[in-house]
Amino acid sequence: MMKAKWIIYKIAVIVMVLGWVQAWGQEYKSLAGTHHIVISSPINQISVGETITMNAISNKKYTDFVWSSEYPGIASVVNGKVIGLDKGKVLITAKAKGDSFEAAYLLTITGPEDHESLPLTTEELYYNNPQFNRGEKYTNKGILLFPADVNEVPNWPSIAAKSGLNTIGIHPGGGHLEGIMEGTINWLKSDYGQLFLKNCRRYGIEVEYEIHAIKELLPREMFNKYPTMFRMDKNGLRQQEDNFCIHSKQALELLAKNVVAFAKIATPTTGRYYFWIDDGRHMCHPDIGDIYSDSDQALMMENYLLRELRKFDPRATIAHLTYANTSTPPKKIKPDNGVFLEFVPITRSYDMSYRNQSGDRSTQDNSGWVYLKQNLEIFPANTAQILEYWTDVSLFSNWKRPFKELPWKKINKVLEDDVTFYREFGIPNFTSFGNGHDENYLKNYGFKHIEEYSKALQD
């Protein structure tokens, strides 16, 4: 009898609620398979004033969870009670008290006028990223895009999530371009940039920024007044263009100041930073006795920048780019804890699997994996990342518009073995240039290959 009265009471409360949404109770699993969670609400509706209940069975027998919402503008859930909602999608998290386990669920919620046309189902998305699943170790399964790509295809975060990718890196273009740092900041502040970030939060996509940055972080117009801040060529002459003098404390301090200022606006959600040296350009070669290689100088810079970044972002790690003139491993400088290897095989062939390419013709050529092996003697494999060109529309179009269709059949033949080969070194993180996946490419060729690329990256 008491049970019947309770049910009638709950129904009456729900009927009185002015704003309410449809949502099925759903069953979710953590990626590790250790938690089995069922969320439920009265007659499968989330209503203002309702307390969400949840049953949980886990290998650690957690039963006490705290519910909250990442998006108060869409729905506010405080201590399990819904205090506000609107149409759209709501991200709700469950956290076990006294433990680091945290899960996130994306529920589709709709207004009463949609009941006739929409099925009573919930679109759910289990996020595989550190922001929402702090109990799961993050490994990158990503793609790099131009800002213009996501401007023209604003649902890129949704495409990435549904394909199984978890990270989008913003790469504004090659190092020959001017104004890319300022342009990136302006884009992030624009409606396009804000929409991109909002959609990435909604779909659980991590955001990073990978940029050839140095020539803009050390303003070139300072050359006449402070020439010693700028690099010296092999003839002993100071050069205004490209990179800087690693032996100039003043240059390092200014560089770090500008890096932190940029990072405070373009903050990667992963805590992983990429401030690459200028694209394939030489570093400093002063005649002061011991000569540091370009790789050594890049690492000296990265060690310094990491220390400064951690004053602002304690999570910070930073990439050491192994590419072109930094393909060979550093010999005199050791990486600080938090500097991770990013290997970029710019001159490799896609006519055969990478394991069959061991060339080392010059320090400007990492067509083969010999430099990868050598660098892994210096840098830890368990934090290393491969930045490939499997999906780089711009490269396969020789960086000329209009972009051509990727030779995907050829690439796909080597893709799976490439990933397997890299993993044999113990490398867990993968991303690929994907620049040129814009509205025109989507219209003419489609994005089906993105799903195949993502599938190859799955563990």
- Residues of the domain holding 329: 142-457
Model confidence at 335, pLDDT cuts 50, 70, 90, reads: very high
3-state helix, strand, coil in the chain (%, to 5): 35, 20, 45
Query: Which residues have C-beta within 8 Å of that of residue 369, sequence separation ≥ 6?
Result: 345, 354, 355, 357, 358, 421
Which of the two residues, 360 and 337, has the higher pLDDT score? 337
172 pLDDT tier (thresholds 50, 70, 90):
very high
pLDDT digits (tens, 9 = 90+) for 426-448: 999 999 999 999 999 999 999 99
Look at residue 81 and tell me if it is in a domain: yes
If asked whether residues 147 and 57 sit together in one domain, one would say no
Q: Which of 130, 140, 138, 160 is nearest to 434 (CA)?
A: 160
In this structure, is residue 133 part of a structural domain? no
The pLDDT of residue 242 is 80
- Which pLDDT band holds residue 78 (cuts at 50, 70, 90)? very low
- What average pLDDT score do residues 109-124 get? 31
Give residue 29's pLDDT band: very low, low, confident or very high (50, 70, 90). Answer: very low
Amino acid at 313: D
Which pLDDT band, with edges at 50, 70 and 90, does 176 fall under?
Answer: low
Question: Please, how many CA atoms are within 13 Å of residue 274, restricted to the half-sphere of its CB?
Answer: 21
**Minimal CA–CA distance to 417: which of 356, 359, 376?**
356
Domain assignment of residue 357, yes or no: yes
Cα 122 from Cα 141, distance rounded (Å):
26
- Quick check: is 47 in a domain? yes
Q: Pull the structure tokens for residue 88.
A: 């759209």
- Looking at every residue in the chain, the average pLDDT score rounds to 75
| 172-181, 188-197, 202-211, 308-317: segment of lowest average pLDDT | 172-181
| CA neighbor of 276 nearest in space, from 87, 148, 406, 144 | 144
Give the CATH number for residue 195.
Answer: 3.20.20.80
| 194 sits in which H/E element | helix 191-203
- What mean pLDDT comes out for the span 27-54? 38
Residue 286 contacts residue 230 (beta carbons within 8 Å): no
Average pLDDT over residues 243-247: 86
* Encoded amino acid at 442, one letter: L
- Choose among 374, 265, 361: nearest CA to 330: 374
CATH of the domain at 59: 2.60.40
Q: What pLDDT shows up at residue 146?
A: 96
Q: pLDDT over 90 for what percent of the chain?
A: 46
Range with the lowest mean pLDDT among 23-37, 139-153, 345-359, 434-448? 23-37
pLDDT, mean of residues 232-240: 80
Beta-ladder partners of 76: 84
The answer on 189 and 91 residing in a single domain is no
Q: Element (H or E) spanning 77, and its range?
A: strand 75-78
pLDDT value for 178: 78
In this structure, are strands 53-58 and 35-40 parallel, antiparallel, or unpaired? antiparallel
**108 in the same domain as 154:** no
If asked whether residues 88 and 186 sit together in one domain, one would say: no
Q: Are 186 and 315 contained in the same domain?
A: yes
Is residue 125, in this structure, part of any structural domain at all? Answer: no
260 and 329 both lie in a single domain: yes
339 in the same domain as 300: yes
Name the pLDDT band for 413 (thresholds 50, 70, 90): very high
Q: 367: pLDDT confidence band, cut at 50, 70 and 90?
A: low
Quote the CA–CA distance of 240 and 244 in Å, as a whole number: 8
pLDDT of residue 360: 53
φ and ψ of 129, to 5 deg = -155, 160
Percent of the chain with pLDDT over 70: 66
> Can you list the positions of beta strands (E) in 97-146?
102-109, 142-145
Q: Which of 75, 99, 114 is the last residue of a domain?
A: 114
Strands (E), 249-364: 272-276, 317-322, 339-343
Phi, psi for residue 330 in degrees, rounded to 5: -65, 145
Is 432 within the bounds of a domain?
Answer: yes
Least confident of 4-8, 79-83, 248-252: 4-8
According to DSSP, residue 111 is labeled: -
How far from chain centre, in Å, is Cα 371? 25
pLDDT score of 89 more than 50: no
Torsion, CA 447, CA 451, CA 457, CA 459, rounded to 10: 170
Q: Is residue 131 part of a domain?
A: no
On whether both 95 and 153 belong to a single domain, the answer is no
Do 400 and 296 have their domain in common?
A: yes
Helix residue ranges per DSSP H, 293-430: 294-312, 370-375, 393-396, 408-424
**Residues whose CB falls within 8 Å of the CB of residue 10, separated by 6 or more in sequence, listed in order:** 42
Interval 273-330: pLDDT, tens: 999 988 777 887 765 545 888 899 999 999 999 999 999 898 899 999 999 889 999 9
Average pLDDT over residues 73-89: 42
Side chain identity, residue 142 = G
Where do the H-state alpha helices sit in 17-167?
147-152, 156-163
Same domain, 284 and 394: yes
Which pLDDT belongs to residue 132?
Answer: 37
Report the domain count for the chain: 2
**Residues 319, 219 share a domain:** yes
Residue identified by tokens 């069953």 is 27
Tell me if 121 is assigned to some domain.
no
Find residue 55's DSSP bridge partners: 38
Interhelix angle for 249-263 vs 294-312, to 10°? 50
Q: How far is CA 254 from CA 77, 87, 281, in A?
A: 44, 47, 20
Phi-psi region of 69 (alpha: psi -120 to 50; beta: other; left: phi over 0): beta
- 253 and 315 in a single domain? The answer is yes
Bridge partners (DSSP) of residue 272 are 317
User: Which of 246-255, 259-268, 444-453 is least confident?
Assistant: 246-255
Letter string b/e over residues 79-100, b meaning 16 or more CB atoms within 10 A of that residue's CB: eeebeebeebbbbbbbbbeeee
